[in-house]
């Protein structure tokens, strides 16, 4: 697929206007306040992953509406220090899988929490374990259109709330330096990590690759791939529902979350990405942190001949190098 979005020089200065609902902040403050009424962690159970150099736990924490959300928590074995933590959010249609699947951050010396996607996990990977008991709102089978006509009902309101609570949960787990927590994600996970950056003011870092939910209206005009295609298919049947759908999506817009972020940020984007068009990632990057009144460290890496896979393993190495010196292992208190 040839490049189909704006040329790179235009992307690098692309700062589109964002139509934010006037109650955007109140909407999310009230949503998170409702979820923050109890201790986040429900249970922490050790599991045998079959690996000798890592230790793993099956964690259940309270997410949206107090619902139980599952996650894998993994640490390097026999490491007594307090560790910085990476909270990772999975891609669209994927669940948390198995505890030995994602070991990069653990092998780099971090504690790692991989959050399950509620109501997802059946499209690829090795499944999930978190149902979504609120998924009866109007919409198609895909998570992106569940509750599309009302932001209070939309799947991503619940998933983003779960993600914010995942940060609170990892801070409550043993052996974690709660002052050093990073949010990481690719595709849907990247959009969720960006939302966390906008909603958790004391996050230590954000690493976002090919983020979904950035420049949503433009993406709907550019592509029929992936979740945006599901939204378009819904609107093709429900003619005239666009105003309600657009209003819902305005509460989920990644650019709006990016504007409210404080943490240092690392972005990656493939310029031939037809699933999450690169103009959305650049818009979020260019407007990142503009409302917080702070100067934050940020960088973006573009891969001109790559699509949704972006820089793949090369980009992961760049993430690891960027994190060095930003999050440090701390001595365990005596």
pLDDT tens per residue across span 129-154: 999 999 876 666 789 999 999 999 99
The CA distance from 322 to 19, in Å, is: 33
From the candidates 153, 256, 273, 315, give the one annotated as an active-site residue: 273
pLDDT score, position 39 = 87
From the candidates 67, 132, 134, 187, give the one annotated as an active-site residue: 187
Is 136 a catalytic site residue? no
The CA distance from 190 to 229, in Å, is: 18
pLDDT-based confidence at residue 334 (cuts at 50, 70, 90): very low
Nearest to 166 by CA among 94, 69, 98: 69
pLDDT tens per residue across span 218-253: 999 999 999 999 999 999 999 999 999 999 999 999
Statement: residue 294 has pLDDT above 90: no
Answer for the pair 263, 295: CB distance below 8 angstroms, yes or no.
Answer: no
Domains and CATH numbers, the chain: 8-323 (3.40.50.1820)
pLDDT score, position 142 = 87
pLDDT cut 90: percent of the chain above it: 88
Rounded average pLDDT over 316-331: 87
How far are the Cα atoms of 15, 149, 163, 278 from residue 307, in angstroms, in the given order? 22, 30, 26, 9
What is the H or E stretch that residue 205 is in? strand 205-209
From the candidates 112, 266, 308, 315, give the one annotated as an active-site residue: 308
pLDDT-based confidence at residue 262 (cuts at 50, 70, 90): very high
pLDDT score, position 328 = 77
Mention every residue, 6+ apart, whose C-beta is less than 8 A from residue 181. Answer: 84, 85, 86, 87, 167, 170, 171, 203, 204
pLDDT score, position 140 = 67
Instruction: At 304, list the tokens.
Output: 């001109």
pLDDT tens per residue across span 165-191: 999 999 999 999 999 999 999 999 999
- Per-position DSSP letters for 48-94, written without gaps between them: --S-SSEEEEEEEEE-GGG-EEEEEEEEETT--SBEEEEEEEPPTTB
Nearest to 213 by CA among 176, 178, 248: 248
Instruction: At 38, list the tokens.
Output: 């109890």
Is 162 a catalytic site residue? no
Is 238 a catalytic site residue? no
Mean pLDDT of the chain: 94
Nearest to 213 by CA among 169, 176, 165, 159: 159
């Amino acid at each position: 697929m040839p490049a189909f979005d704006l040329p790179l020089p235009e992307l690098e200065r692309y700062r589109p206007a964002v139509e934010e609902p006037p109650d955007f902040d109140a909407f999310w403050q009230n949503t998170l306040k409702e979820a923050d009424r109890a201790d986040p962690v429900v249970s922490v159970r050790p599991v045998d992953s079959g690996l000798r150099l890592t230790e793993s736990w099956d964690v259940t924490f309270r997410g949206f509406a107090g619902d139980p959300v599952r996650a894998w928590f993994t640490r390097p074995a026999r490491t007594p220090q307090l560790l910085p933590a990476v909270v990772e959010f999975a891609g669209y249609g994927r669940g948390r899988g198995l505890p030995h699947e994602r070991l990069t951050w653990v092998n780099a010396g971090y504690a790692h929490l991989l959050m399950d996607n509620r109501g997802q996990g059946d499209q690829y990977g090795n499944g999930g374990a978190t149902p979504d008991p609120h998924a009866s709102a109007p919409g198609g089978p895909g998570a992106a259109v569940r509750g599309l006509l009302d932001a209070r009902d939309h799947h991503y309101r619940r998933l983003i709330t779960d993600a914010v609570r995942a940060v609170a949960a990892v801070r409550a787990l043993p052996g974690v330096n709660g002052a050093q927590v990073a949010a990481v994600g690719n595709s849907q996970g990247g959009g969720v990590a960006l939302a966390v950056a906008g909603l958790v003011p004391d996050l230590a870092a954000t690493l976002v690759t090919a983020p979904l939910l950035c420049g949503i209206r433009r993406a709907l005009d550019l592509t029929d791939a992936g979740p945006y295609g599901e939204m378009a298919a819904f609107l093709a049947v429900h003619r005239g529902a666009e105003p309600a759908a657009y209003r819902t999506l305005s509460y989920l817009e990644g650019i709006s979350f990016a504007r409210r972020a404080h943490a240092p940020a690392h972005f990656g984007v493939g310029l031939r990405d037809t699933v999450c068009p690169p103009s959305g990632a650049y818009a979020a990057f260019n407007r990142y942190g503009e409302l917080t009144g702070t100067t934050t460290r940020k960088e973006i890496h573009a891969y001109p001949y790559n699509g949704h896979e972006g820089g793949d393993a090369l980009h992961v190495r760049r993430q690891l190098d960027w994190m060095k010196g930003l999050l440090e292992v701390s001595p365990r208190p005596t």
